């Protein structure tokens, strides 16, 4: 019997902001790793994730934390096999289809615009799922979690649940936040950005998300859990702001793994 799988991406979440945040539920998933993402923007990162190229730490010779050494998900036609056996060998065009071929019920929800199934680019990421929910904005985690609960209730295990969280994406806003959503402190090429406010807001959003995810994480306590950023944001480093640029702080993300023993 395969374990249930939960794959959570904290969109635009910087490693340093996550490390500093009070996030006991997320940090209980596993050791926190300072990893590098395969891309500096949402579509590119998730396209890689869905091919089995999750964030990794290149100088650790260990499977899963370093996907070059050994992948959690490996597509059978997908390049170098690694030094260690993958957790899942998969057939198909992506890990979602591959897991479905193994009998997983695959459901997903993504908050940022790249996951809009109403667009051709969005459908590249969302069509492989049996069912996908796009809330229409990046600050509706509560609605996403209610949708996941309803979708899980309709399908037997094993489940593969993908959740992209938008609260950590600019403008760094969550439901009930005491700041103006219309005032974005991190806009590329603008002269009046505020790195201190960026950090304050993203940290507060991480802590909001951590509290909201407690029940879902508990539901997958016996399963396989991946939590990571898809990329980070620049907050003035080198005069740069936001993401979509190849800079160390944009590629640096938190990574936490919980992998039950293989049967």
Domain that holds residue 103: 5-258
Whether residue 24 lies inside any domain: the answer is yes
DSSP symbol at 9: E
Place of tokens 């929910």: 133
Predicted pLDDT at 82: 81
Whether residue 72 lies inside any domain: the answer is yes
Whether residue 263 lies inside any domain: the answer is no
CA atoms of 161 and 129, how far apart (whole Å): 9
Residue 45, φ and ψ in degrees, nearest 5:
-65, -45
Angle at alpha carbon of residue 247, lines to 245 and 248, rounded to 5°: 145
97-140 pLDDT, tens digit each: 999 999 999 999 999 999 999 999 999 999 999 999 999 999 99
250-261 pLDDT, tens digit each: 999 999 999 998
**Against a cut of 0.85, is the pTM above it?**
yes
Whether residue 110 lies inside any domain: the answer is yes
CATH code at position 197: 3.40.720.10
The 3-state DSSP class for residue 60 equals coil
Q: 200: which residues sit within 8 A by CB, 6+ positions away?
A: none
Whether residue 143 lies inside any domain: the answer is yes
Mean pLDDT of 220-225: 97
Whether residue 156 lies inside any domain: the answer is yes
Mean pLDDT computed over every residue of the chain: 97
Number of separate domains in the chain: 1
Predicted pLDDT at 78: 64
Q: pLDDT over 70 for what percent of the chain?
A: 99
Percentage helix, strand, coil for the chain under 3-state DSSP, each rounded to 5: 30, 20, 50
The four Cα atoms 19, 260, 72, 148 give a dihedral, to 10 degrees, of: -70
28-51 pLDDT, tens digit each: 999 999 999 999 999 999 999 999
């Amino acid at each position: 019997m395969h374990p249930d799988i939960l794959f959570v991406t904290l969109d635009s979440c910087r490693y340093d902001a996550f490390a500093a945040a009070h996030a006991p539920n997320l940090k209980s998933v596993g050791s926190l790793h300072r990893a590098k993402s395969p891309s500096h923007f949402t579509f590119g990162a998730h396209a890689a994730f869905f091919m089995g190229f999750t964030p990794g730490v290149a100088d650790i010779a260990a499977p899963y934390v370093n996907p070059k050494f050994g992948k959690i998900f490996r597509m059978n036609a997908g390049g170098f096999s690694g030094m260690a056996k993958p957790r899942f060998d998969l057939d198909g065009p992506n890990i979602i289809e591959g897991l479905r071929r193994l009998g997983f019920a695959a459901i997903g929800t993504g908050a940022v615009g790249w996951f809009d199934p109403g667009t051709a680019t969005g459908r590249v990421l969302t069509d492989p799922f049996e069912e996908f929910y796009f809330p229409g904005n990046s600050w509706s985690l509560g609605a996403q979690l209610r949708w996941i609960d309803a979708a899980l209730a309709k399908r037997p295990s094993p489940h593969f649940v993908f959740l992209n969280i938008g609260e950590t994406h600019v403008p760094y806003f969550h439901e009930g936040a005491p700041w103006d959503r219309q005032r974005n402190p991190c806009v590329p090429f603008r002269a009046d950005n505020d790195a201190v406010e960026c950090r304050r807001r993203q940290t507060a959003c991480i802590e909001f998300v951590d509290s909201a995810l407690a029940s879902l994480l508990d539901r997958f306590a016996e399963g396989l859990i991946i939590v990571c950023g898809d990329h980070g944001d620049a907050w003035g480093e080198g005069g740069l702001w936001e993401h979509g640029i190849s800079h160390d702080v944009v590629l640096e993300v938190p990574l936490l793994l919980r992998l039950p023993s293989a049967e």
